Amino acid sequence: MDLSEEFLYVAENDKGEVAGFASGGPSRSPEFAYDGELYAIYILQEYQQKGIGRKLISKIAEKLLENGYQSMIVWVLKDNQAAKQAYIKLGGKVIGKKDIQIGKRMLVEEAFVWEDLTGFL
């Protein structure tokens, strides 16, 4: 993976304070045939449900397209219903899952994909 292809977008409120962020780049999931990845997205609670997440994900998709990628995968904890509903609303589809260990806890992540990023344009 070429680290120069990783990128980060930050959303600010009208006072210049961070309201959220999203990062992406080449896929880190070789077990699936999707070339781009949304690595992380986080929106402060007071800014959720205001379209910021959709705008950040769209920026990630646009940048991936600019870099020659056609699709995108994101991993989300199975119990994170809010994120999963947002991804479904944006057209993401579940294609797989895996067990992960965080500290002493075993959790399940689900993979959501967008096969054609041009839908974000």
Residue 60: strand, helix, or coil: helix
The residue behind tokens 């904890």 is 77
Per the listing, tokens 């950040």 go with 56
Q: Which residue has the higher pLDDT, 1 or 114?
A: 114
What is residue 94's predicted lDDT score, i.e. its pLDDT? 97
Q: What is the pTM of this model?
A: 0.92
The pLDDT value recorded for residue 39 is 98
Domains (range + CATH), the chain: 3-120 (3.40.630.30)
The type of residue at 60 is I
- Residue that the structure tokens 């992960």 belong to: 100
- Structure confidence by residue, pLDDT tens digits, 22-39: 999 999 999 999 999 999
Strands 72-77 and 36-43: parallel
> Of 109, 118, 24, which Cα lies nearest the Cα of 71?
118
Strand partners, 23: 8, 40
Q: Tell me, what's the pLDDT at 44?
A: 97
The Cα 101–Cα 58 span in angstroms is: 30
What is the rounded CA–CA span in Å between residue 80 and residue 23? 18
**Which comes out higher in pLDDT, residue 1 or 14?**
14
pLDDT of residue 72: 98
33-92 pLDDT, tens digit per residue, is 999 999 999 999 999 999 999 999 999 999 999 999 999 999 999 999 999 999 999 999
Residue 3: what pLDDT?
55
